[in-house]
Structure 1
Amino acid sequence: MSLEQLIGENGFIEGKGQDAVLLVHGLTGTPAEMKHYGKVLARKGLTAVCPVLAGHCASIKTLTATTWQDWVSSIEQVFLEMRKRYRKVFIAGLSMGALIALMVAARYKEAVAGVILLSVTLFYDGWNMPPFKQRFLLPIVLYTPLKYFVHWEETAPYGIKCERTRALVAAILDNKDAQASEKIGYFKTPATVILESVRLIRQAKKQLADVVSPVLIVHSTEDDMASIKNAHYVEKRLGSRDIQTMYISDTYHVLTLDKRKDDIAKRSAEFCLALAH
């Protein structure tokens, strides 16, 4: 399959640079959440490629039919195709997408020019995540037949501090737009999908030491879903000798859509361009 076929109808390619960044959107998200980020990278001289994760931009039924291995495999295929076309290939992932980026980097070592971790999520311990549900209720659901009947519904602030952007998300949800999953992703996550994400987290933790590419960790000090402890955890355990950090305020979990999105995209471009030349 060609690169254009692999990224899917809702994926995108921005820019015409010789060096490229493979963008991995978050679990239950869509390439739309990476669009602005990709455009900034393209303006800086890079090519941004964002595929649709396996099972996404479709129906909940389609999503629940996939596993974490399917998500990783869909990104691996795009990475290998990009290696044929571009001089250097970087990977930037958001939230669970950051874990997928790590998994690919752990497997392909130096072939990955660099990794950008945006709101890397190993623990759902942000200030908007109820600890009682995480510690007691979640295991009861995930490891019993209840997982086939229960879903978690995300509520405001939706990982976004910017009131204007948050209002746009809320408007789409209020209108009950049938195509909302293609625009902003799923805000009702089946427990079976959460279970797959837990398995992905476990596997990613085991492979942190195998990541040897340069890494840029970007994390908000105000993250509502995954506290900055996630970034610290990863930083201490990566095998890379070149680890840079950008701890940023005035933004929540979805860094690519929030108040500091331009600052984050520019810093990401600087990271890649410095390594590309």
Structure 2
Amino acid sequence: MIQQTDFFFEGGRSGILLIHGLTGTPMEMRLLGKGLNRAGYTVHGMQLAGHCGDVDDLLATNWHDWYASVEKAADALREKVDHLFVGGLSMGALLALKLAADRPAQIAGVGVYGATFRYDGWSIPRIARLSFLLPLLKRLGIGRNRSFMEQPPYGIRDERLRAQISSAMLGGDSAAAGLPGNPWHSLAEMYGLAAEVRRQLPQVTAPCLIAHASEDDVASTRNAELVQRSVSAPTELLLLDDSYHMITIDKQRRLLVDRSAAFFDRVAEGVPLQRVAA
């Protein structure tokens, strides 16, 4: 049964919609959300359709359902704020970019956190790197009951936090830590979304903060570079050298909060932005 785990922090007239990743949970965005709220922002950490339940709940949805839930959450938050920003982690970053591409007049800026178009990080088993073939297998009706199980270090460099998260995930607490594996058919949907967003990247005109772990175990920095060279907007690149994929909760989360708040502040204040790498 799906549990509701989204969060809402009341703040000022600038709002940020935060989107978690595939098989994930709003909890992976909560620390970032709290930090941005302390910086004065109204923050909604939304829950994607089909998530925070069991595998069957997830398999009952597709990427169009996930995106529809993003649009619904954006509409609700837009009624409460003057400036609407969006940020997402992993697959959530793709959904954030799609929202910005589809709604250029509404989205003021984008936080692109650990964008994942392909699972090509150093911890991904070689066989799993062929997962781009999954859309074909899904069309053939193959693999509905198969999953790629999460692999250590589970996207987390902080060993104590890794132990806590992996214990909850492997213990079946999907509302707190997400599912322990990625169902093949859901991954096929993710790759369908990725293909759609790649085509739409030139339509993204909102400034983008692109934050990525330099040693990302799940998605290499090639994913971040794709966004930076493809969007039609000023970008700022933040490479984090002491984090793995889950940068919103890992060792450098405070730096991520600070840089995100400063970036969104500049955009809201109308400060001209240049393409910056750091």
Question: TM-score, normalised on structure 1?
Answer: 0.91
Residue equivalent to 1:55: 50
Please say if 1:93 is aligned against 2:88. Answer: yes
Residues paired across the two proteins, number: 266
Tell me the distance in 1 between the aligned counterparts of 2:264 and 2:78.
16
The alpha carbon displacement at 1:118 in A equals 0.1
Correspondence list, 1:8-23, <5 A: 9-23=4-18
Higher helix share: 1
1:5 aligned partner: none
**Equivalence for 1:192:** 185
Contact between 2:122 and 2:220, CA under 8 Å: does it hold in 1? Answer: yes
Q: Counterparts of 2:222 and 2:131 in 1: how far apart (Å)?
A: 21
1:40 is aligned to 2:35: yes
Amino acid across the alignment from 2:268: A
Deviations 1:91-116 (A, max 9, x none): 00000000000111001003101001
4+ runs of 1 displaced by more than 6 Å? none
Aligned to 2:241: 249
1:164 to 1:107, Cα distance in 2 relative to 1, 3 A: same
Counterpart amino acid of residue 39 in structure 2: K
Aligned pairs (5 A) from 1:140-159: 141-142=137-138, 144-159=140-155
Q: Structure 1 residue 276: deviation in Å?
A: 1.5
**Amino acid in the other structure paired with 2:27:** A
Q: Which of 220, 223, 234 is the matching residue for 2:213?
A: 220
Alignment counterpart, residue 272 of structure 1, candidates 260, 264, 273: 264
Give the aligned partner of residue 234 of structure 1.
Answer: 227
1:111 aligns with 2:103: no
Shift of the 243–95 alpha-carbon distance from structure 1 to 2, 3 Å rule, reads same
For 2:157, the equivalent position in structure 1 comes to 161
Whole-Å separation in 2 of the counterparts to 1:212 and 1:28: 29
Deviation at 1:135, TM superposition (A): 3.0
Work out the CA distance in 2 between the residues paired with 1:171 and 1:130: 21
Q: Does 1:263 align with 2:255?
A: yes
Between the aligned partners of 1:269 and 1:188, the Cα distance in structure 2 is 32
Tell me what 1:208 maps to. 201
| Structure 2 residues without counterparts, runs of 5 or longer | 270-278
Q: CA RMSD in A?
A: 1.7
Separation in structure 2 between the aligned mates of residue 218 and residue 136 of structure 1, nearest angstrom: 24
The amino acid of 2:146's aligned partner reads V
Does residue 64 of structure 1 match 2:59?
A: yes
How much has 1:156 moved relative to structure 2?
1.2
Q: Deviations over 1:15-55 (max 9, x none)?
A: 32111100001111000001110000011111111111011
Partner-residue secondary structure (3-state), 1:110: coil
Give me the TM-score of the superposition, normalised by structure 2. Answer: 0.91
AA matched with 1:66: T
- Provide Cα deviations, 1:113-135, integer angstroms capped at 9, x if missing partner: 10010000112111111234423
- Structure 1 Cα separation of the partners of residues 131 and 160 of structure 2: 35
Q: Which residue type is aligned with residue 103 of structure 1? A: K
Query: Offset at 1:170?
Result: 2.6
State how far apart, in whole Å, the 2-side matches of 1:145 and 1:83 are: 40
